[in-house]
Amino acid sequence: MLLLDFVRYQQNLKGTKIGCREGDCGACTVLIGELDNGQVKYRSATSCLTPLGNVNNKHIVTVEGVNMDDLNPIQQAMCETNGTQCGFCTPGFIVSMAGFCLSDKEPTYKNAIASVDGNICRCTGYKSIERALEKITALLEDKPSDAAAFVTEKGILPAYFTDIPEKLKLLSEQPNGADLAKPNKLFIGGGTDLYVQQHEAMVYADIDFVGAKPELKGITQQGDICTIGGATTVSEFAASPIIRKYFSNIDQFTKLVSSTPIRNIATFAGNFVNASPIGDFSIFFLALNAILELTDGITKRNIPLRQFYKGYKQLDKKPEEYISKFWFTLPDEKTLFNFEKVSKRTHLDIASVNTAISLVMAGSIITDASVSAGGVGPTPAYLSMASEFLKGRVISEKLIIKATQIAQTEVSPISDARGTGQYKRLLLSQLIKGHFIKLFPDLEVKQLISVV
Ligand X SMILES: Cc1cc2nc3c(=O)[nH]c(=O)nc-3n(C[C@H](O)[C@H](O)[C@H](O)COP(=O)(O)OP(=O)(O)OC[C@H]3O[C@@H](n4cnc5c(N)ncnc54)[C@H](O)[C@@H]3O)c2cc1C
Site residues, ligand X (CB under 6 A) = 22-24, 186-194, 196, 210-211, 230-231, 257-258, 262, 266-267, 269-271, 273-274, 279-280, 322-323, 350
Q: Would strands 225-229 and 207-208 be described as parallel, antiparallel, or unpaired?
A: unpaired
> Which C-beta is closer to ligand FES: that of 25 or that of 371?
25
> Which C-beta is closer to ligand X: that of 60 or that of 77?
60
Q: Sketch the per residue contact string, 81 through 100, with ligand FES: x for CB under 6 A, - otherwise.
A: ---xxxxxxx----------
Return d(Cα 55, Cα 66) in angstroms, integer. 19
Question: Which among ligand X, ligand FES, none contacts residue 273 (Cβ within 5 to 8 A by kind)?
Answer: ligand X
Number of H helices, E strands in the chain: 19, 17
Question: Which SS3 state, helix, strand or coil, does residue 288 take?
Answer: coil
User: Least CB distance from residue 41 to ligand X, whole Å?
Assistant: 18
User: Least CB distance from residue 271 to ligand X, whole Å?
Assistant: 3
Q: Sketch the per residue contact string, 33 through 62, with ligand FES: x for CB under 6 A, - otherwise.
A: -------------x-x--------------
Contact 116, 129 (CB under 8 A): yes
Under the phi-then-psi rule, with left for phi > 0, alpha for psi from -120 to 50, and beta for the rest, what region is 308? alpha
User: Least CB distance from residue 62 to ligand FES, whole Å?
Assistant: 13
User: Least CB distance from residue 356 to ligand X, whole Å?
Assistant: 12
Contact 221, 242 (CB under 8 A): yes
Work out the burial of residue 33: count CB atoms within 10 Å of its CB; fewer than 13 is exposed, 13-18 middle, 19 or more buried. buried
- Of 220, 242, 73, 270, nearest to 155 by C-alpha is 73
Question: Which among ligand X, ligand FES, none contacts residue 84 (Cβ within 5 to 8 A by kind)?
Answer: ligand FES
- Of 297, 292, 301, nearest to 323 by C-alpha is 292
Tell me the DSSP string of 226-262.
EEEETT-BHHHHHH-HHHHHH-TTHHHHHTTSS-HHH
Q: Sketch the per residue contact string, 113 through 142, with ligand FES: x for CB under 6 A, - otherwise.
A: --------xxxx------------------
Question: Which among ligand X, ligand FES, none contacts residue 211 (Cβ within 5 to 8 A by kind)?
Answer: ligand X
User: Least CB distance from residue 124 to ligand FES, whole Å?
Assistant: 5
Return d(Cα 452, Cα 443) in angstroms, integer. 18
User: Least CB distance from residue 212 to ligand X, whole Å?
Assistant: 11
Binding site for ligand FES (CB under 6 A): 18-21, 23-28, 46, 48, 84-90, 121-124
